Structures are given as structure tokens and as C-alpha cells.
Structure 1
Amino acid sequence: MAKFMGIDVGSTTVKVCVLSETYEILYTSYERHFARVKECVLNQLSIVEEKFGGGEFQVSITGSAGLGLAERAHISFVQEVQAAFTAIRKYYPDADAAVELGGEDAKIIFITGGTEQRMNGSCAGG
């Protein structure tokens, strides 16, 4: 069975997470891309290949700068609030809300009672 890999390409960073078939976190990385997105993503992929020997992965991309990459690479794109919501529900099932500070915005996701999201596009945290 394939492992899962999530790639989050944000306005300032690239984050990668590899999960086992049972959703155990096997690897995470966080790297500032300094506007060299392609170079940074390729570097992270080479690290994953080195660590996991080029096995089979089910890959999804998210993040404010990820859509174009996902389209060019024919990889599924998941909107970042939905990706965060899914991970929070899986790993922190008792959470009521989550706050994320990104490089170009800040988000709060209210989880209890349905998914509600608020975003401040003028607040750069990264």
C-alpha cells in the first residue's frame, strides 16, 4: 500500500509531510523557499526519495502557491483550509478551533458545529 505525502506550498515556505498507510507521521519538513519554489520543492522531494527509497506515494498539494504546481504536475490539489480541517479532525479530534498564521494571511477555523473559517488577508505572520 502507498504512503501519503502532503506538500504545502505557501507564500514563503514549503512544508512536506509523509504518512504511513495507517496515517502515522513518518516525516515532516519546513523550508523557506525565498521565491525559489520549484528548487525548494525538488529539494524536498529528493530528501523524501532518499529517506523512503522511491516507494509509491499518494500525493496531494495545498497552499497559496500550490495550485499551479498541482495543475502542471497533474497532482490533486486540496484547498488549504480543508486540508487543515481534515488533519485537525484526524490528529486532534477534541479541538474546537485552530489558528494558522501564514506568510500572507491569518486564519481561524471553527470546527465544532460545522466548519467555519475566518481569514485576514492583510495580516502577514511569516
Structure 2
Amino acid sequence: MGRVNSLVVFIDGDCGFCQWASGILRRISAEDLAIYAQSTDLCRSYQEKIPDARWSLATVQVISDGRLYIKSAAISEVLKHAKWPFLPLRVLFVLPERLLDWMYDFVAKHRYFFNGKNACQINSQE
């Protein structure tokens, strides 16, 4: 499956917001973080390796230690591996998961508004 990473992130990748968010995730993470668009063959190979109906439920998925995380749990998983200045952001995840997922869904639904729709450039950032 290519190089080994502690965290593998798959992002929708069809909008400027996703591109902006991928840059933020790279800066936050203390681990070797790989970010790919969901349209890649690598994503499809992970979907076969980790069969889970939740793959289609989110604009971001995180694979960590062979487990799939989606929505707010995906962001929380990245923050578990954050560099020191970003560790205090984990306090947000004491909120109920239902509320965090609602906020995630709101941002995901309106992501084109936040930063426009552009061609995905996630892989060109590596």
C-alpha cells in the first residue's frame, strides 16, 4: 500500500476547504501523516481491507492502527497525535459525540461556501 504512515487521512478533496483543512492537519500532526483524496486507488484498497458501511458517511476518514474513524472521531484521532501547541484542542472533544458530529456535518455540508470548489490538489502538496 505504499509507504507506511502512522495516520492515513482520506479527504473528499474536491473543494478549497478540504485543501485548506489538509494543510492544517499536516501542521497539527506530530506523526507521519499521509493525506489522500477519497477518489484514489489507495482509498479503495483500504475500503476493501477494512470493510465498513461508514466509509460513505463522511468527507474525512482516518485510518489509525488499522481502525477507521469518521466525522468528529477522525478529527479527534488526529488530535491524539498532535504536536504540543495543538494538544489543548483535544479539550473540545469532551463535548458529546452527537454534538461534535452535528458540527462536523454542518461544516461538511457548507464546505463549498467556506472556500469554494476547486480541483483537488491534495496529492500535489506532498
- TM-score, length-normalised on structure 1? 0.36
Larger Rg: 1
Judging by fraction of residues, say which structure has more strand: 1
